[in-house]
Structure 1
Amino acid sequence: MITTNDIKQAAAFIQKKVTFTPEIGLILGSGLGVLAEEIENPVRISYSKIPGFPVSTVEGHAGQFVFGTLQGKKVAAMQGRFHFYEGYSMDKVTFPVRVMKEIGIERLIVTNAAGGVNTEFEAGDLMIITDHINNMGTNPLIGPNDNELGVRFPDMSEAYSKRLRQLAKEAAGEINISVQEGVYVGNTGPVYETPAEIRMIRTLGGDAVGMSTVPEVIAARHAGIEVLGISCISNMAAGILDQPLTHDEVIETTEKVKANFLSFVKTIVNNMN
């Protein structure tokens, strides 16, 4: 089990290599790590070098932290994340969020590639996450609570900051791109959902589905970090279109929307106070 000491050790290692305190954290999902290439004066630290960190094993995840300046703000970007389906425990999946909090981050932008459940969505849409449904059957806060990290029963009524969601909508208007809003459903994976499961998710109120994000957001809110979530709708979920689902399609779609995604997130960061 991850301890406060483990978090402090990892943070201390990073702080020896990074001479500034980052303001904003970024978690970049499948195919979206390209944003880290926009960071100026980058300091790159491989996850494998950081004490206690797992290693990302998924295609489209570079497996490193990138620290530097983006739109005049000091940022820490995770170029790739960890997933429950890779065999990591929930405390390992959320360990980087704990470390980001320890090094001073108070605001976090979480991105992912997701399947579109809402039939009004199209592959390539960007969706501001308004809320989530934890369909993973577990929770990163199960077990003894460390009051130094957060309260025993954290409030999740505003898991995704209304303030940051409004800022994101204004940013989309500023650069004249259309964005969706909706509820993200987190499943364990690694299989894509069946058509029956997608019908169930739609009935429950889900608009997009994926295999990440929910544990990280729970840990972030537990730590008092303000969160904005953005999904790239990389494919339409099972049963909506008459075609199989592949990870290659996810990467291909995120490549197509790269320009809009980069412009959108950079404008959001630029407008953050």
Structure 2
Amino acid sequence: MGRLAVILGSNALGPSGGEIAAAAAEHGAAVVQRHGSPDAFVLPHEIDYAANLRPLVEQGCDRVLAIASVGSLRADLPVGSFVCPDDFIALHVGLSIFADARAHTTPGFAPRWREEVVAAWGAEDGERAVDGGVYWQTVGPRFETPAEIRMITPHADLVGMTIASECVIAGELGLEYAAICVVDNLANGLAEGELSVDEMEADRLINATRLRDGLAAVLPRLGAVGR
């Protein structure tokens, strides 16, 4: 039985970020900030996923609970929704830690671990995570155009810039991987008016508090140190 790792996203870089990280570490989980620190923010397309994940293996981790900020492609997944996706589309992503035939992997979220996360998240406070959904990864760091959103909406439920790449590298390193995505905005073109970064950041701050509470409640159930 190995240790649990929690990878935090950009929604944990605000005033509540330290509290979110502390909530995870308090339960024995290894904590990684995907984007570095607020003073040295790493843009999505510049993240070194292998550098983030390899130390987790060295620390005895065998599974990852990743937290990510996403845009929703569906009206029935409003801002504030928690979603545990079960598949992703990342047609442009070619990342691998291998330089030979071992790179021909079959990627994806770890099914049993993902089921554990879904069962545990919100079991105490009732803020359950939606079970399943397709995550579409774009290159970033810019947001998508309304035309791009219209193209991908028939095929996915969430849009983001990091989870698919991270999941692929985690799998290559032997880490089981599942994600809780927090909807911080409706995708560009789906909401009334232009997508506002200021409005998104305001929603992100509200969601960060709920995220902190959700993590604090779920980690004992997931067995941060061993299972």
Distance 1:237 1:141, change over 3 A: same
Distance 1:28 1:178, change over 3 A: same
Corresponding position of 2:39? none
State the TM-score, normalizing by the size of structure 1.
0.69
What are the equivalent positions in structure 2 for 1:1-273 lying under 5 Å apart? 23-33=3-13, 34=16, 36-38=18-20, 69-71=25-27, 73-78=28-33, 80-81=35-36, 82-85=42-45, 88=46, 92-135=48-91, 137-141=92-96, 144-145=99-100, 151-156=102-107, 159-171=108-120, 172-180=122-130, 181-204=132-155, 206-272=156-222, 273=227
Offset at 1:222?
0.7
What's the Cα RMSD here?
Answer: 2.6
Higher normalized contact order (CA 8 Å, seq sep 6+, divided by chain length): 2
- The one-letter amino acid paired with 2:31 is A
Q: What secondary structure sits across from 2:57 in the alignment?
A: helix
Distance 1:232 1:186, change over 3 A: same
Asked whether the equivalents of residues 36 and 79 of structure 1 are also in contact (C-alpha less than 8 Å), the reply is no
Asked whether the equivalents of residues 70 and 269 of structure 1 are also in contact (C-alpha less than 8 Å), the reply is no
Distance 2:20 2:147 in 1: 40
Corresponding position of 1:55? none
Structure 1 residues 197-227: Cα deviation after superposition (integer angstroms, max 9, x where no partner): 11211122x1110111221111001111011
Q: What secondary structure sits across from 1:173 in the alignment?
A: coil
Offset at 1:166?
2.3
How many residues align? The count is 213
Distance 1:163 1:175, change over 3 A: farther
Offset at 1:115?
0.6
Distance 2:145 2:175 in 1: 34
Asked whether the equivalents of residues 135 and 159 of structure 2 are also in contact (C-alpha less than 8 Å), the reply is yes
Distance 1:232 1:31 in 2: 8
Offset at 1:119?
2.1
Offset at 1:127?
1.0
Offset at 1:83?
3.7
Q: Based on CA coordinates, which of the two structures has the bigger radius of gyration?
A: 1
- The one-letter amino acid paired with 1:111 is I
Asked whether the equivalents of residues 106 and 226 of structure 1 are also in contact (C-alpha less than 8 Å), the reply is yes
Q: What secondary structure sits across from 1:31 in the alignment?
A: helix
Offset at 1:143?
6.2
Distance 2:21 2:34 in 1: 11
Q: Which runs of 5+ in 1 are unaligned?
A: 1-21, 43-67
Offset at 1:191?
1.9
Asked whether the equivalents of residues 194 and 238 of structure 1 are also in contact (C-alpha less than 8 Å), the reply is yes
Offset at 1:187?
0.3
- The one-letter amino acid paired with 1:32 is A
Asked whether the equivalents of residues 80 and 184 of structure 2 are also in contact (C-alpha less than 8 Å), the reply is yes
Distance 1:142 1:102, change over 3 A: closer
Asked whether the equivalents of residues 122 and 233 of structure 1 are also in contact (C-alpha less than 8 Å), the reply is yes
